[in-house]
């Protein structure tokens, strides 16, 4: 087949088919094209049989696209026996054929999340454990984490033998697995976990698949977990023709089990690894790439690479310092309108990216006011989110108890033990008496058709709503909302939810609704609840048209793999980006993952990039002074243009330094130290030469960006042991960072 259309690095990645290969594919470097061409090359030019190829990716969409592109490239060859699949689909196929070898029925069913909850509740009942203390979803999350680390119930028990709570969860885990097996069922985590178990316990099955899959390719390798890593390592051991493709600089899913060490240490797992770096970017201008390269170079744990583009011209990155989040949102809406007119762009050319979901709400309001159509990509519009609809329903019932629709929405939210059958009985009685549901609820003690337990729950609910209706006359709307969230138990239930990231997002959205109320109180002449609900209804009213020409709003996590001509990267402030929990954890790895996320955000832009930050921000119902993100400080000055000529200092928040918390103060101190360090480094680098890592030898004097000056004392492969003047003896991988030869 013709490979002349590939650039030299892409062609090298395609043609190097034998032995272990690590393809470091930078953002926008055409990795999907390389993978599909590599598969086609194996079949068409190397005469490899389709059945001998396994290609694994993370989503069904990516797997389908890859298969279709391969089939379009080699139309004359039969590809039906080739496995282009996801991890889970691959494992299902293996288990359907061989899981009976470890005592399971091959016709197993796969339990979804609701099935898991039911099963855990049964286990808790059998073990005489409270589902209040051991909340089922939380237990499931812990079990899932254990399986992802390939820990059996016995191993988990041993690991936490001195931890009372986790020791009990180990007992639940053991019974849960026993019940799954008895029911001929697996959960989704079992699909990989049990495949690894099958391979370990049945060498014959492992040998069959090792022999079959002579060529293995794994996409997005930086996102693999321990279980996925172990599965691939077991399959590849015989032929060693393992090709992994990924970008350590885009490893942003550590919070859900991805282990960046899998890609960073690939060369330790296999002998004579051939490394190919795809550094030519086909997406962005060089100015955007220079900014991305400079920011990500501040990470220590990474493979060295530098993106470049043939698009040498381009717009400078525009930085807008706004007064607050409302000013920021108005700037975004105004700029979209202006650029659409000036450059005849489509709305779909624009994307607004943010670190936290709650940041979208002011932007949505500004776009609505400007009649700019938009989509929440991979999410739900703020006022359409379940938690926001629930909260609005509470407020509607407080304002108008006769609102049966809103009442039915919240009567058992959070769960109060008021089931559907009870609600149906209340509706029947209301219909018979031609009264509202609330009227029937007030007189619930006279309804003998309803159990005493349900009557008690209903009475408690009526008392709650009565109290809230009383205080609405004296509380401002923002305080009333806080009271609803506190007394209803809504926040408490979310905090117990096992899906930590999702629950935190929902809690943040609810707190952001307090910001909506604060804005209303500040800007509206009438400040009562009725006016507020009317304002919200008018603001949240959205167009129902089906046009695709809309601005995209999404989190930076969601944006990975996408690209847009014009990107707004918003909220570039400490404690927002990087997120507060990454700062307070005090772990370098958490900040490095946030910096990788920033790199992903920057490289979504093809032509123009706007970065916005504020002097103060009201978020989750609290107003705080802002401080510029450390990532802003890392941008190269020659790549940026500050739009606020009168406010060209990014250190605007130093005036508020005395009220910032200790972690932010620590960062400010580090910034000051870093400016001194940069001067020192500049002096050091003036005396250095352009270093080829192969020039470094024992006895060489080198400079490391974090540890300073040292002397190389030993080398083994890519590992270098250095005696640093001020940091002692350290062993590092010279591929991970820049070592300047002095």
**Residue (of 184, 209, 226, 202) closest to 90 by Cα position:** 209
Question: d(Cα 103, Cα 58) in Å, to the nearest integer?
Answer: 29
- The tokens for 96 are 């359907």
- pLDDT single digits (tens) 441-485: 988 887 778 888 888 999 999 999 999 999 988 899 999 999 999
Residue 546 confidence (pLDDT): 45
What is the pLDDT averaged over residues 170-186? 89
Contacts of 612 (CB under 8 A, 6+ apart): 319, 320, 321, 322, 328, 331, 332, 568, 569, 570, 571, 572
Residue 67 designated active-site: no
Active-site annotation holds for 93: no
Q: Which residue, 177, 187, 127, is CA-closest to 153?
A: 177
Question: Global pTM?
Answer: 0.70
pLDDT at 498: 60
Tokens of residue 708, six digits: 């300073």
Residues tagged in the binding site annotation for ATP: 25-32
Task: Note the pLDDT tens digit of each residue in 605-646.
Answer: 999 999 999 999 988 778 889 999 999 989 998 999 998 754
Length, in residues, of the chain? 742
Catalytic residue among 116, 250, 422, 614: 250
DSSP assignment letter at 575: B
pLDDT in tens, 431-448: 888 888 888 898 888 777
For every residue of 342-372, DSSP letters joined together read HH---GGGEEEEESSGGGHHHHHHHHHHTT-
Q: Which helix (H) or strand (E) holds 456?
A: helix 452-471
> What's the CA gap between 216 and 237, in Å, rounded?
11
Neighbours of 448 (CB within 10 A): 8
Give the angle subtended at the CA of 597 by the CAs of 596 and 598, to the nearest 5°: 90
Highest mean pLDDT among 15-24, 88-97, 385-394: 15-24
Q: How far apart are CA 93 and CA 720, in angstroms?
A: 43
Cα end-to-end distance, the chain, whole Å: 47
Active site residue 31: yes
Q: Give catalytic status of residue 222 as yes or no.
A: no
Q: Could you report the per-residue pLDDT of 63-83, keeping only the tens digit for each?
A: 888 888 888 888 777 888 889
Contact 600, 384 (CB under 8 A): no
Cβ within 8 Å of residue 194, ≥6 positions away = 91, 95, 99, 102, 104, 186
With cut-offs at 50, 70 and 90, classify the pLDDT of residue 675: very low
Burial class (CB in 10 A: 0-12, 13-18, 19+), 686: exposed
What pLDDT, on the 0 to 100 scale, is given for residue 667?
A: 46
Q: Is 434 a catalytic residue?
A: no
| 56-70, 543-557, 647-661: least confidently modelled range | 647-661
In angstroms, the Cα distances linking 38 to 16, 33, 74, 361 are: 9, 8, 12, 44
Task: List, for residues 477-534, the tens digit of each pLDDT value.
Answer: 999 999 999 999 998 888 877 666 678 888 988 988 998 899 888 888 888 888 888 7
**Catalytic residue of the set 302, 604, 630, 734:** 604
Under a CB-based contact definition with an 8 Å cutoff, are residues 449 and 417 in contact? no
Say if CB 713 and CB 721 are below 8 A apart. Answer: yes
| Mean pLDDT of the residues in the chain | 85
H-assigned helices in 74-187? 87-98, 113-126, 136-148, 153-159, 164-182
Residue keyed to tokens 């480094």 = 681
Token match 């900014």: residue?
Answer: 291
Distance, in Å, from the CA atom of 576 to the CA atom of 36, rounded to the nearest integer, reads 38
Q: Is the CB of residue 328 less than 8 Å from the CB of residue 320?
A: yes
Q: Measured in whole angstroms, how far is the alpha carbon of residue 586 from the centre of its chain?
A: 20
Q: Are strands 317-322 and 622-625 parallel, antiparallel or unpaired?
A: unpaired
Q: How many CB atoms are closer than 10 A to CB 399?
A: 16
User: In Å, how far from its chain's centre is CA 658?
Assistant: 33
**Helix, strand, coil distribution of the chain in percent, nearest 5:** 55, 15, 30
Q: What is the pLDDT of residue 613?
A: 95
In angstroms, rounded to a whole number, what is the distance separating the alpha carbons of residues 684 and 740? 9
Asked whether the CA dihedral 209, 210, 211, 212 is positive or negative, the reply is: positive
Closest to 200 (Cα-Cα) out of 175, 171, 178, 233: 233
DSSP H helices in 609-688: 630-633, 662-686
> Which of 148, 187, 189, 219 is the catalytic position?
219
Looking at residue 682, what is its pLDDT? Answer: 36
DSSP string, 498-538: S-HHHHHHHHHHHHHHHHHHHHHHHH-S--SHHHHHHHHHH
Q: Does the annotation count 327 as an active-site position? A: no
Instruction: State residue 376 phi and psi, 5-degree precision.
Output: -85, 110
Three-state DSSP at 628 gives strand
Catalytic option among 190, 220, 249, 325: 220
């Amino acid at each position: 087949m013709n490979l002349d259309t590939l650039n030299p690095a892409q062609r090298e990645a395609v043609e190097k088919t034998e032995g272990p290969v690590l393809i470091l594919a930078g953002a926008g470097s055409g990795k999907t094209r390389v993978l599909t061409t590599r598969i086609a090359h194996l079949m068409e030019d190397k005469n490899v049989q389709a059945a001998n190829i396994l290609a694994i990716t993370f989503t069904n969409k990516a797997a389908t696209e890859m298969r279709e592109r391969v089939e379009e490239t080699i139309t004359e060859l039969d590809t039906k026996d080739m496995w282009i699949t996801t991890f889970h689909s691959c494992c299902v196929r293996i288990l359907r054929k061989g899981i009976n070898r470890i005592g399971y029925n091959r016709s197993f069913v796969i339990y979804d999340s609701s099935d898991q909850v039911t099963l855990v509740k049964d286990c808790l009942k059998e073990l005489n454990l409270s589902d209040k203390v051991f909340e089922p979803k939380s237990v499931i999350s812990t079990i899932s984490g254990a399986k992802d680390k390939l820990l059996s119930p016995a191993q988990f028990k041993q690991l936490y033998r001195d931890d009372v709570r986790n020791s009990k969860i180990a007992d639940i885990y053991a019974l849960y697995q026993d019940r799954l097996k008895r029911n001929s069922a697996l959960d989704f985590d079992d699909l990989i976990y049990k495949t690894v178990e099958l391979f370990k316990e049945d060498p014959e099955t492992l040998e069959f698949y090792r022999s079959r899959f002579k060529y293995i390719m794994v996409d997005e390798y930086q996102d693999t977990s321990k279980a996925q890593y172990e599965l691939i390592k077991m399959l590849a051991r015989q032929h060693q023709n393992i090709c992994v493709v990924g970008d350590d600089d885009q490893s942003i899913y550590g919070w859900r089990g991805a282990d960046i060490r899998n890609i960073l240490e690939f060369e330790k797992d296999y002998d004579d690894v051939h490394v190919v770096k795809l550094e030519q970017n086909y997406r962005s201008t060089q100015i955007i790439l220079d900014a991305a390269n400079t920011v990500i170079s501040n990470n220590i744990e990474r493979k060295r690479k530098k993106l470049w583009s043939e698009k040498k011209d381009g717009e400078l990155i525009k930085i807008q310092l706004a007064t607050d989040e409302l000013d920021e949102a108005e700037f975004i809406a105004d700029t979209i309108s202006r650029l659409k007119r000036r450059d005849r762009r489509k709305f779909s050319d624009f994307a607004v990216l943010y670190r936290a979901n709650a940041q979208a709400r002011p932007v949505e309001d500004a776009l609505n006011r400007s009649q700019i159509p938009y989509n929440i990509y991979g999410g739900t519009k703020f006022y359409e989110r379940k938690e926001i609809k629930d909260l609005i329903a509470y407020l509607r019932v407080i304002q108008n108890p006769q609102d049966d629709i809103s009442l039915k929405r919240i009567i058992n939210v959070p769960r109060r033990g008021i089931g559907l059958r009870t609600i149906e009985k209340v509706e029947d009685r209301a219909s018979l008496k031609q009264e509202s549901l609330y009227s029937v609820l007030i007189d619930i003690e006279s309804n003998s058709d309803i159990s005493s337990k349900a009557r008690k729950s209903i009475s408690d609910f009526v008392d709650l709503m009565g109290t809230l209706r009383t205080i609405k006359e004296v509380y401002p709307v923002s305080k009333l909302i806080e009271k609803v969230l506190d007394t209803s138990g809504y926040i408490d239930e979310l905090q117990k939810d096992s899906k930590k990231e999702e629950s935190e997002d929902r809690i943040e959205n609810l707190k952001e609704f307090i910001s909506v109320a604060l804005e209303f109180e500040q800007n509206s002449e009438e400040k009562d609840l009725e006016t507020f609900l009317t304002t919200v209804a008018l603001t949240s009213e959205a167009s129902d048209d089906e046009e695709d020409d809309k601005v995209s709003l999404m989190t930076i996590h969601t944006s990975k793999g996408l690209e847009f001509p014009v990107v707004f990267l918003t909220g570039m402030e400490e404690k927002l980006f990087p997120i507060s929990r990454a700062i307070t954890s005090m772990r370098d790895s958490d900040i490095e993952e946030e910096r990788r996320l920033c790199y992903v955000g920057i490289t979504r832009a093809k032509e123009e990039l706007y970065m916005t930050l504020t002097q103060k921000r009201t978020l989750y119902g609290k107003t705080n002074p802002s401080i510029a993100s450390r990532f802003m400080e890392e941008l190269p000055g020659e790549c940026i243009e500050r739009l606020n000529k009168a406010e060209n200092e990014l250190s605007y928040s130093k005036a508020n330094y005395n009220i910032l918390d200790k972690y932010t103060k620590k960062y400010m101190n580090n910034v000051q130290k870093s400016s001194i360090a940069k001067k020192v480094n500049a002096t050091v680098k003036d005396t250095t030469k352009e270093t080829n890592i192969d020039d470094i030898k024992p006895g060489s004097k080198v400079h490391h960006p974090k540890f300073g000056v040292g002397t190389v004392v030993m080398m083994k492969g890519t590992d270098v042991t250095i005696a640093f003047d001020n940091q002692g003896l350290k062993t590092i991988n010279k591929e991970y960072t820049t070592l300047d030869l002095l």
